[in-house]
Structure 1
Amino acid sequence: MDKRDLFNALDTFSQDLMQTLAEVESIKIHLQELAQENTALRLENDKLRERLFQEESSVEVSKKRQRNTSVIEKNYDEGFHICKDFFGQRRDNDEPCLMCLEVIYREDV
């Protein structure tokens, strides 16, 4: 192989190497973008899971409160006080008790 062919081969190899290096750099940039997007999505996913857990907990508390309220209302309808002052005592002639009604209908804030 003469010098000219050797230099041509070396030049071709150098150009191929530069092109490969440019492709590797492009892949590296794309990988960095994907890693950043992945991190952002993981953070968003964690926040959504936390929000979902809070919503599910809120629904469970609401259901439990509804069950408790229905039991309390049933006792009141059967003629018993459910207020803290007279709890468990019979209501005279099933007369309404404002304190009991407040317990049934109050809104927890």
Structure 2
Amino acid sequence: MDKRQTMLNDFDHLQDQASDILTQLAALKVQVTTLSEENAELTVENQHLRELLGEDNGSDEAKRLSKSLQNLERLYEAGFHVCREFYGQRREEHDSCAFCLELIYGERERASKAS
């Protein structure tokens, strides 16, 4: 009878622990959802602020680059290679890549030298 009581006590203890874990998981899910929503809002706000800064500064680079090159520039600034050799790979510590820079700014440089 003693072993049976010990087993029942162990099961009760295990059930309590499982219940506590479920409660913690539910709280964690709420926190993750809140942080994800906040992150999405901040991302949109950040993009709007970047657009405003680009307009206010009258950035010649942004005006000279086509939309596709501007997209590549954004990817490059986010830390990814856009060159053919390493496309999609993360740049280590945001190091410069001559291939990427040539791809993004090369045409503009050649056009300005020709003028």
Query: What is the TM-score of this pair, normalised by structure 2?
Result: 0.48
Q: What runs of 5+ residues in structure 2 fail to find an aligned partner?
A: 61-115
Q: Distance in 2 between matches of 1:50 and 1:3?
A: 70
Tell me what 2:49 maps to.
48
SS in structure 1 opposite 2:34? helix
2:40 maps to a residue whose letter is: T
1:47 maps to a residue whose letter is: H
Q: What runs of 5+ residues in structure 1 fail to find an aligned partner?
A: 61-109
Superposition deviation, residue 20 in structure 1: 0.8
Tell me what 1:39 maps to.
40
1:13 maps to a residue whose letter is: L
Q: Distance in 2 between matches of 1:50 and 1:32?
A: 27
Q: Distance in 1 between matches of 2:49 and 2:6?
A: 64
Tell me what 2:27 maps to.
26
Moved over 4 A (4+): none
Q: Distance in 2 between matches of 1:22 and 1:3?
A: 29
SS in structure 2 opposite 1:7? helix
Superposition deviation, residue 3 in structure 1: 1.1
Say how many residue pairs are matched.
59
Superposition deviation, residue 14 in structure 1: 0.4
Equivalences for residues 16-95 of structure 1 within 5 A: 16-57=17-58
Superposition deviation, residue 54 in structure 1: 0.5
2:14 maps to a residue whose letter is: F
Tell me what 1:9 maps to.
10
Q: Distance in 2 between matches of 1:49 and 1:18?
A: 46
Equivalences for residues 91-102 of structure 1 within 5 A: none
Q: Distance in 1 between matches of 2:42 and 2:34?
A: 12
Q: What is the root-mean-square deviation in Å for CA atoms of aligned residues? A: 1.6
Q: Percent identity?
A: 25
Return the index of the structure with the highest Cα Rg.
Answer: 1
1:26 maps to a residue whose letter is: A
Query: What is the TM-score of this pair, normalised by structure 1?
Result: 0.51
